[in-house]
Amino acid sequence: MSLNGYQTSKNMALELSKTLSSDAVGNYWKILNIIDDRKYLRASVSVGLFKDVSSKDKQPLHVFGYSFSADSDSVAGYPFTIEALSAEDMNHVKLAYTALKALPEFAGAIDV
């Protein structure tokens, strides 16, 4: 399985319940897209919120965008450094999930 050419684990996702303003409730988060701009050390990650694991191949309830940057004003740092990617068995998708889990809105998320 791949995402933008990056190998992913079949079960790589996060579980965390969220109620949207429309009152729709989802608890399965899956990365849909990663854009890595090495020149400016910025990255964008699109994450889909799905009702549950059984709906992961359907249209997401909502797509959220998260930005990561080496800029000192950034809430989260740039996750795709050469050092991080050089670690054994590491790739963009795993690093993106790690970066997401470090954000306050994903506190308590479970790897699924």
Q: How many domains does the chain have?
A: 1
**Which residues touch 75 (CB under 8 Å, ≥6 apart)?**
103
Report the pLDDT value the prediction gives residue 1, as an integer from 0 to 100: 46
The candidate with the shortest Cα–Cα distance to 76, out of 50, 48, 97, is 97
The candidate with the shortest Cα–Cα distance to 32, out of 69, 70, 62, 74, is 62
Confidence of residue 46 (pLDDT cuts 50, 70, 90): very high
Q: Examine residue 58 and state whether it is found in any structural domain, yes or no.
A: yes
Q: Examine residue 112 and state whether it is found in any structural domain, yes or no.
A: no
Q: Examine residue 25 and state whether it is found in any structural domain, yes or no.
A: yes
In what helix (H) or strand (E) does residue 56 lie, and over which residues does it extend? none
What range does the domain containing 70 cover? 2-107
**Which residues touch 15 (CB under 8 Å, ≥6 apart)?**
27, 28, 29, 53, 109, 110, 111, 112
Over residues 67-89, the pLDDT tens digits come to 988 775 555 678 888 788 877 87
Q: Examine residue 57 and state whether it is found in any structural domain, yes or no.
A: yes
Running DSSP on this structure, what letter comes out for residue 104? G
> What's the rounded Cα separation, in Å, for the pair 84 and 80?
6
Running DSSP on this structure, what letter comes out for residue 53? G
